[in-house]
Amino acid sequence: MAHLLIDKPSAGEHAPYYSKYIDLVPPGDVIGILRTQIEGTLATLNSIPESDSLRRYAEGKWSMREVIGHVIDGERIFAYRALRFARNDRTPLPGFEQDDYVPAGQFDQRPWAALIREFEAVRRSTLCFFVGLHEAAWSRSGPASGHEVSVRALAYIIAGHELHHMAILRQRYR
């Protein structure tokens, strides 16, 4: 598949809530941004000792392991939505409640290195999917969480969601 330059989505291509993630993504090549994030994020995560990965910056907040587990879960869900809509499946998809997913994921029981490997595997899989899309698929959309969302917006949401949570890790946990 030839490499395409995928512009930022318009406001009508996603729920207003997701603007906070999309706005974090610099203009340009979202595929390149997703690819570049892998190395930067892995470097940051690999610099965190196993014992520190259980740290919470405040009472009731997620541990670093839970934050990364959440990023992984979110990416899987957003990529699944992109798959469905890219393949022209407009079946309405439900939302997901992150505050239910994180405790059920039991991320604090898993080794830090395993979560880092899982993040990398999920991101590389997401990249393979997006790189393989033809041009028409990027503008397809469907209903998720009660709002219309485009495949293009989902790619930007994935990139911005990671940027958002990595900034929190750097600012509040380190």
CATH tag, 33-54+62-173: 1.20.120.450
Tell me, what's the pLDDT at 4? 74
Rounded to the nearest integer, the mean pLDDT of the chain is: 96
- Spell out the domain ranges in the chain: 33-54+62-173
Ranges of residues in the chain with a pLDDT under 50 are none
Q: What percent of the chain has pLDDT over 90?
A: 94
Long-range contacts made by residues 38-46, C-beta under 8 angstroms, separation at least 24? Answer: 38/120, 38/123, 38/124, 38/127, 40/166, 41/119, 41/123, 41/162, 41/166, 42/116, 42/119, 42/120, 44/166, 44/169, 44/170, 45/112, 45/116, 45/119, 46/116
Tens of pLDDT along 52-94? 999 999 999 999 999 999 999 999 999 999 999 999 999 999 9
